Chain A
Amino acid sequence: MAISKSATKSSVREFVGRREVGLFLIIVAASAILSLLTPQFLNLNNFISIATGMSYDVIVAIGLTLVLTVGGIDLSVGSILGLTGVVTTMLLRAGVAIPLAVLAGLSLGALLGALNGTFIAKFKINPFIVTLGMMAVARGASVVLTSGYFLSNLPAGYLAIGQGKWFGIPIPIYATIILVIIFDYLLRNWEPLHSIFFIGTNPDAAELSGIKVGKMLIVSYILSGVLAAAAGVFMTSRLAMGYAQFGLGAEQRAIAASVIGGASMSGGEGSIFGTFLGVLLLAIINNGFVLLGLSVYWQGVVNGLILVIAVGVDAIRRMRRGEDRD
């Protein structure tokens, strides 16, 4: 039965060769090392704290993975998180009902994403420049609106979104898991969203294959904006305040996590589940820093290095593959 044996072998190799599996093994290894170094790591409370802390990054990174897959980039997610959080909390403090305030925050995220997408898809402006501009505008607007103050005194019903628990587990963790499952499923199986793989690989060929390139580009940036806004809602309710500097650097962690999880800076590739594992790996490394008592200032250095290494490895992988050509 040589045939079936080699078939099994190749499908085993295919499974192990998948990015997610490799990433999972790295996470297990990192966890094993940390649990040897410090007894505090292997502990339910520590895990819940890691999971809660990473939930905002996961939600933002889902959107970023979509944008990278469609062949773009979104540097404005951190600022959109900040601005929508500020606007939502300001509305709440002005007495607007909780569902309306949350809806307004999410709509603002969608609107800013739609602006990004329109400039990129319709006016063909470089996505890096468009979202860099949006990053500055949204952050600046947050500071203008708050004059730099914290916006506290939020209604208890709102705080329950981020601080409430079911079975001892904070609600943001549930929300994050559900969002990962939904978007992972949709990206793989839902034809309109699945088509962004084609757009990111070759937009001209996609257009001539009957794929709605412009529309899906805009949709991707809208989803990125809405998800950033959702992260803004969870963060402001969890921390019980709105603040202009929330989400600072979120785009950097989201890009790193997406690329670690299998997204390519040149588009056409990406996995929501992979991105989730990417955020988890970054969160465990940062948790290790805290538990081992290393200076938090080093975290920025390490996060930056991880971003450059992840993108560098992606570039080398693509170069290698390019050599196979002809």
Chain B
Amino acid sequence: MVASVLKIKGISKSFGVHKVLHDIDLEIAKGEVHALIGENGAGKSTLMKIIGGIHRPDTGSIEVDGESVAFSNPQAAMAKGISLVHQELSLVPNLSIAQNVFSQREPTNWLGFVKWDELHKRTRELMERLGVDIDPATMVAELSVGIRQLVEIAKALSMDAKILVLDEPTSALSEKEVETLYRIVDDLKAAGVSIIFISHKLPEVFRISDRISVLRDGRMIGTVKAEDTDTDEIIHMMVGRSIEEMYPPRASSVGETVLSVEGLSRGDELSDLSFELKKGEILGFAGLVGSGRTETARAIFGADPVDAGTITLHGRTVKFKSALDAINHGVCYLTEDRKDLGLFLTKNVRTNIVSSSLKKFASQLGLLQHSGIEDTAKYYVQHVKLRPADDKPLVMNLSGGNQQKALLAKWLCADPQVLIVDEPTRGVDVGAKTEIHSHLRQLANSGVGVIVISSELPEILGLCDRVAVFNEGRITAVLDGEGTTQEDVMKYATM
């Protein structure tokens, strides 16, 4: 057994009352490629930020080369040879490749002036080591995402990184760039660099890693050798939690098609998506973050343009130019980002509830009937069981669950025929979650077509009649909610 270069023991981390990491152990051997996988929100990024010195753990210890360390900032981690290559690239676009690679560490003469020749020579050497022949004076803004990633890796190498953390490095790369990255990972490994590889895509995990560690709900489920396991076992480790919540009974019967979408496409985000939504059913959109679920919803809602595709509502072809247009046709979209895109935080509950249906409370001359607004708001406060049962508190002073109920009330008030809800129970406690589920089912039973986008597989499978699985801008399968397992969905979401 090769010596461990990094040894983590008993790491826990909470943000406020929310515990995101429970007692994590992890060992990384010298020169190994170690994949770290798990669902969205499993705690991968938090763990990596602790290793990289961005967050500090509440408890637990970190050893690098047998020496106990406590990083107070990313620079301290880098000094010990740990470098993070972020999902969101951290380069400065208006500076050159060389300036980015040697940011704050440019070789200077005794007067403090940058020695440009040496800076460029050393950058060129690093880039050549990564197999790229490029002028080090090129501005980062002019580079493709793939090359930018290589610049980040060059930056890490320039600091003599012993451990390189690659956080979803292939998510924005073309196929050719991915192959280049694999080759670089193999080269670095041969040179004795350890690599922690975070990914959602199981085929690539098996392609390049030696060992795989699985996180779920902030706990380390286990570490296995890649050659001793298979996709099924890994998926089971990723999703194998028990379903704690109770879901309302499914639709007994569904009616005619309310909404049908054909050939929806935009750039490489959405490619030729087609599906149908029937009256009275709840259709689930499953898939990983960035697989095109939210983009599809926004495109239908008229919030974003599309390149191609037909949307048919009640048998009539429609093309919404704006959210207003969609709302007027009874198509509503509850956003996943309630604070920035959904609610008016500094306004009270009443104002928020009527915000998408103001025109309904106006006379022909446009004069608002304030008593009607008050009565309606009070009705919905009762209907969604808001706590406190009052329409006057400012929404920003409500809990997450109550904010989400207020957001739901806002769209119920708009009287939708088709309601698309995006992550309707994110950051919501179990009680409010069950209530939101029963409202959605009630809505479907009353004849409204409901689409639920969720990253929580138990929610999708428990709530929905049918499930469309999204993968890289395509729908790879439409499955029955009943009888489908999380493993089935995961297979289509990661293939």
Contact = CB atoms under 8 A, between A and B. Distances in A.
A205 B323 contact: no
Contact of B344 (A192, A201, A326): A201
A324 B366 contact: no
B231 interface: no
Given A209-B323, A268-B346, A190 B368 contact: yes
Nearest to A264: B346
Interface string A195-218: 101100110111111111000000
A198 to B, nearest CB: 6
A321 interface: yes
Contact of A189 (B16, B342, B367): B367
B368 A209 contact: no
Given A202-B344, A268-B344, A208 B358 contact: no
A209 B410 CA distance: 9
B328 interface: yes
A204 B344 contact: no
A202 B341 CA distance: 8
A194 interface: yes
Nearest to A201: B344
Contacts of A212: 324
Interface in A176-235: 188-192, 194-195, 197-198, 201-202, 204-212
Interface in B340-398: 340-347, 351, 355-356, 358-359, 361-362, 365-368, 370, 394, 396-397
A205 B340 contact: yes
A202 B407 CA distance: 14
Main secondary structure of the interface of B (DSSP, over half): mixed
Interface residues of A, number: 26
B303 interface: yes
Contact of B340 (A190, A195, A204, A324): A204
Contacts of A13: none
B344 A195 contact: no
B333 interface: yes
Contact of B367 (A191, A205, A208, A209): A191
A209 B355 contact: yes
A281 to B, nearest CB: 25
Interface string A284-326: 0000000000000000000000000000000000000100111
Contact of A194 (B346, B356, B358): B358
A201 to B, nearest CB: 4
B291 interface: no
B335 interface: yes
Contacts of A192: 366
B362 to A, nearest CB: 4
B346 A209 contact: no
A170 B194 CA distance: 85
Contacts, number: 85
A194 B342 contact: no
Interface in B298-346: 301, 303, 322-324, 326-328, 333, 335, 340-346
Which residue, B303, B351, B358, B414, has most C-beta atoms of chain A within 10 A?
Answer: B358
A321 B348 CA distance: 13
B327 A191 contact: no
Contacts of B394: 321, 324
Contacts of A209: 323, 327, 355-356, 410
Nearest to A208: B323
Given A190-B367, A209-B356, A210-B327, A324 B396 contact: yes
A290 to B, nearest CB: 40
Contacts of B358: 191, 194-195, 198, 211
A205 B341 contact: yes
A13 to B, nearest CB: 13
A112 to B, nearest CB: 26
A268 B396 CA distance: 15
A-B interface, 4 closest residue pairs, ranked by CB to CB distance from nearest: A210-B324, A191-B362, A210-B327, A209-B356
29 contacts: A188-B368, A190-B365, A191-B366, A191-B367, A191-B368, A195-B358, A197-B347, A198-B358, A201-B346, A202-B340, A205-B340, A205-B341, A205-B344, A207-B303, A207-B323, A208-B303, A208-B335, A208-B342, A210-B323, A210-B328, A210-B356, A210-B414, A211-B324, A211-B355, A211-B358, A268-B344, A268-B347, A321-B396, A324-B394
Interface of A: 188-192, 194-195, 197-198, 201-202, 204-212, 268-269, 321, 324-326
Given A189-B370, A210-B327, 5 more contacts: A192-B366, A207-B322, A208-B301, A208-B335, A324-B394
